[in-house]
């Protein structure tokens, strides 16, 4: 019978406590947030940058940083995705832990760098299920998971129906909130239907779900900021539809 070498045994045991193994440990945060930004055919490259700048400005806002650092665990996890048709979803910035102004600034800076990759006709159902997959396949844990989708219409031209996807997401205890983008470079409400109502009826769902609107380019970043604060603070409004 071979004698066990205690040194070899300790060396083998140390492998289980390597930095790689530690990096795979579950991270606990107050909120997992998927930002799904519209990159469909109605959005040109200038508007892609405009949207990213709006989110970058919002997430670095002092009020948003305060909401994060005073929330449970003092940190949240965020990823930013642009979506188009049923085969076109691009993770612009992967999961990041935001726990300080510095972390938010890094997220914002990285958000502005990659080229646009998502395109095509609206596939909101596919985008929602993609967001669900990102939440279910990370190494992060939180009490709350939110998918936050922006769009300038509620159409769905390919992929699974919105209702089917929404129900699958909500049944997984994930909340869907919305940003209805009414108009970027004009004033008023150019849509030929009530986009907020469509969001409320067709897209959002789950505990405390709400939709907020942006009427023009001047209100976009403010709408995102307000939405982020409500989501981080877990303080959903009494009215499911909130004009900016």
The answer to whether residue 49 is domain-embedded is yes
pLDDT tens profile 102-125: 999 999 999 999 999 999 999 999
Q: Domain tally for the chain?
A: 1
Q: At what angle do helices 45-59 and 101-111 cross, to 10 degrees?
A: 180
How far separated are the first and last CA of the chain, in Å rounded?
77
**Residue 8: which pLDDT band, with cuts at 50, 70 and 90?**
very low
Q: Is beta strand 211-214 parallel, antiparallel or unpaired with respect to 145-151?
A: unpaired
Segment 22-49 mean pLDDT: 88
Decide if 128 contacts 149 (C-beta within 8 A). yes
The answer to whether residue 63 is domain-embedded is yes
The answer to whether residue 139 is domain-embedded is yes
Q: At what angle do helices 62-69 and 217-232 cross, to 10 degrees?
A: 10
Residues spanned by the domain of 152: 27-242
The answer to whether residue 70 is domain-embedded is yes
The answer to whether residue 34 is domain-embedded is yes
The answer to whether residue 5 is domain-embedded is no
pLDDT at 14 over 60: no
The answer to whether residue 150 is domain-embedded is yes
Considering the chain, what is the average pLDDT of its residues?
86
Reference 31, options 81, 1, 70, 62; nearest CA is 70
pLDDT tens profile 178-235: 999 876 554 445 556 788 999 999 999 999 999 998 877 778 889 999 999 999 988 7
pLDDT at 244 over 90: no
CATH code of residue 146:
3.40.50.410
The answer to whether residue 185 is domain-embedded is yes
């Amino acid at each position: 019978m071979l004698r066990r070498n205690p040194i070899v045994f300790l060396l083998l045991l140390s492998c289980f406590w390597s930095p790689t193994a530690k990096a795979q440990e579950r991270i606990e945060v107050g909120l997992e947030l998927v930002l799904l930004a519209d990159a469909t055919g109605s959005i040109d490259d200038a508007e892609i940058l405009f949207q990213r700048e709006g989110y970058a400005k919002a997430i670095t806002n002092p009020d948003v940083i305060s909401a994060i650092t005073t929330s449970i665990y003092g940190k949240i996890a965020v990823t930013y995705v642009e979506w188009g048709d049923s085969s076109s979803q691009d993770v612009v910035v992967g999961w990041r832990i935001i726990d300080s102004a510095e972390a938010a600034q890094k997220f914002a800076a990285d958000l502005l760098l990659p080229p646009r990759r998502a395109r095509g006709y609206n596939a909101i159902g596919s985008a929602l299920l993609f967001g669900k997959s990102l939440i279910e396949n990370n190494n992060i844990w939180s009490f709350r998971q939110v998918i936050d989708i922006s769009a300038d219409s509620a159409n769905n031209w390919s992929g699974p129906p919105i209702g089917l996807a929404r129900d699958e997401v909500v049944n997984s205890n994930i909340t869907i909130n919305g940003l209805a983008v009414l108009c970027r470079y004009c004033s008023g409400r150019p849509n030929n239907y009530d986009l907020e109502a469509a969001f409320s009826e067709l897209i959002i769902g789950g505990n405390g779900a709400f939709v907020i609107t942006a009427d023009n380019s001047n209100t976009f970043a403010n709408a995102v900021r307000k939405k982020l604060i409500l989501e981080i603070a877990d303080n959903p409004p009494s009215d499911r539809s909130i004009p900016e």
